[in-house]
Each structure stands twice: as structure tokens, then as C-alpha cells.
Amino acid sequence: MKANLDKITKNNRALFLAYDHGMEHGPTDFDDESVDPAKILKIADSGYFTGFICQKGIAEKYYDQDKNKVPLIVKLNGKTKLLAEEDPYSPQVCSVEEALNYGASAVGYTLYVGSQYEAKMMKELAEIEEEAEEKGIPAIGWMYPRGKAVAGKEKSKEILAYAARLGLELGLEIIKIPFTTNQETLSWVVKSAGEVKVVLAGGSKIDEGEFLEATKKALEVGVKGLAVGRNVWRAKEPLKMAEKINKIIFG
């Protein structure tokens, strides 16, 4: 069955609100407002987003399939930053089946391209992709170059394009790559990904104007949108920031 991208895209573009940081970084990214999943889900449900990304625990306890309008995207793997391994492995912690029970419209998985555990993660992601396709929902890959083999080259044109191409070869529908402002790199990444839609992570919080400008520039070379966290929910006024990003992406 062909995965249905209609639910999580609009006019072939996407804007996802990412909120899986509690597992990846711990609560250090949060303040008194953003530490509360209910408040972030409210921002996600504002109408500006085509998806809300979280881990299974938040999906189970906060996402209400009858009330929430924003489509749910469940991250199926994750790790903490406490071990800070040079070659990271991010184990699967949720199945496609479980994500569907929470009402997921898509599933996500982080693959650390270049890590010594890359083969293990490729296998897990390939199995997830197969099952997601059977169920008709899209599989989204966080294609993040990381590990000794790619140290210092994580955002190079060649390595980022390789990570993007891997997403196409593995059968993914959307790939998310680390935030970069280099148009030449992004243009080659987009070409390398073929029919797979490329979205950008937001990265650490930066100046709002600078972030909006970078978003515009990324779209100019074929990037299809963002899967952004901190640059929205740590903005002075998250809803206003969401509205501005939405305007840039969807017009």
C-alpha cells in the first residue's frame, strides 16, 4: 500500500512541531512553559502545523485522538545524551503497531549515518519502513551524520547528501536533516533525495529573523519544510513565530 502523505503535508510541504527533546536532551531545553507537554500540544494544535512529533509516553498520556486536530507523528527510537557516545546507537523503543494505537499518522526514526552502529539502525529502520508501508503510513527518517567516521564532516555537502540518498534507498517518504543554511549543500541534498521530501530540523535557538530568513532560503532550493522544536517553543511568542513560519512555507 502506498503511504498516505496527505495527512501530514499541505500543498506538498510540511511543518512539524518537534517535541522529543525530553528524551534526547533531558528537560534542560525547557522552561516553566515548555516543560509541560499539554502546552506544546496546544501550540501544535493551533492550525499552523501539519504534524506533532513526540515519543510514545507523551503520545499515550497527552494526545487525544478525538480532540486533537494536528496529526500525530510518533518517534520510534531515541536515546539520552548521558552516555555521549562518539558513535551513537538509538534503540527502537516503540513499535509501528503501538504508534498506530495512539493515533499516529506517521512514524519517525533517527539513523546516525556514519556511526559504527549504522548497520543495526539501518536494519531496524528498514523493518519499520516495511511495516509502515504495509499499514499505509509514511516513515520519516531523521538522517543525522554522526560518529567517528564522519567527525567534523557532519554538515558537509558530500556527507549530508549521502545521508539524504540513504533515505531514498531505504524507501522513506520524508527525511529530516540537521539545520544548515548553505544553499549549495541543500540543493545537492534535495537532488540526492530524489522523490523523498527533505525537511530541516531547527537546531539550537537562534535569532528569530535569522531563522525565518534561513527557512526562506532553504525553500528556494527545494526543501519542503521544517520539523522544528526549540526555535518555535522557545521563541518569545511561540504562536506568532509559528504563524510566521507557516506563512513562509505555505504562502
Instruction: Check binding of 24 to ligand FBP (CB under 6 A).
Output: yes
- Residue 104 has phi, psi (to 5 degrees) of -65, 140
Instruction: Check binding of 201 to ligand FBP (CB under 6 A).
Output: yes
DSSP-derived letter for residue 17 is: E
Cell numbers placing 11: 500543498
Instruction: Check binding of 48 to ligand FBP (CB under 6 A).
Output: no
Residue whose CB is less far from ligand FBP, 67 or 154: 154
User: CA 119, CA 166: separation in Å to the nearest integer?
Assistant: 12
Catalytic site residue 144?
A: yes
Quote the distance between the C-alpha of residue 142 and its chain's center. Answer: 6
Instruction: Check binding of 224 to ligand FBP (CB under 6 A).
Output: no
Select the residue interacting with ligand FBP from 55, 229, 242, 246 (CB under 6 A).
229
Residue whose CB is less far from ligand FBP, 137 or 145: 145
Pairing of strands 225-228, 14-18: parallel
Instruction: Check binding of 242 to ligand FBP (CB under 6 A).
Output: no
Instruction: Check binding of 63 to ligand FBP (CB under 6 A).
Output: no
Residue whose CB is less far from ligand FBP, 10 or 205: 205
Buried b (16+ CB within 10 A) or exposed e, 40-73: bbebbbeebbbbbbbbbebbeebbeeeebebbbb
Question: Smallest gap, in angstroms, from Cβ of residue 136 to ligand FBP?
Answer: 24
Select the residue interacting with ligand FBP from 202, 218, 223, 244 (CB under 6 A).
202
Binding window for ligand FBP (CB under 6 A); candidates: 56-64, 92-100, 133-141, 228-236: 228-236
Per-residue DSSP letters for 150-163?
A: GTT-TT-HHHHHHH
Instruction: Check binding of 142 to ligand FBP (CB under 6 A).
Output: yes
Q: CA-CA distances (angstroms) from residue 240 to 9, 14, 26, 217, 236?
A: 21, 18, 26, 20, 9
User: CA 136, CA 2: separation in Å to the nearest integer?
Assistant: 6
51 bridge partner residues: 16
Catalytic site residue 157?
A: no
Choose, from 102, 109, 162, 176, the residue flagged as catalytic: 176
- Give catalytic residue positions: 144, 176
Binding site for ligand FBP (CB under 6 A): 18, 20-21, 24, 142, 201-203, 228-231
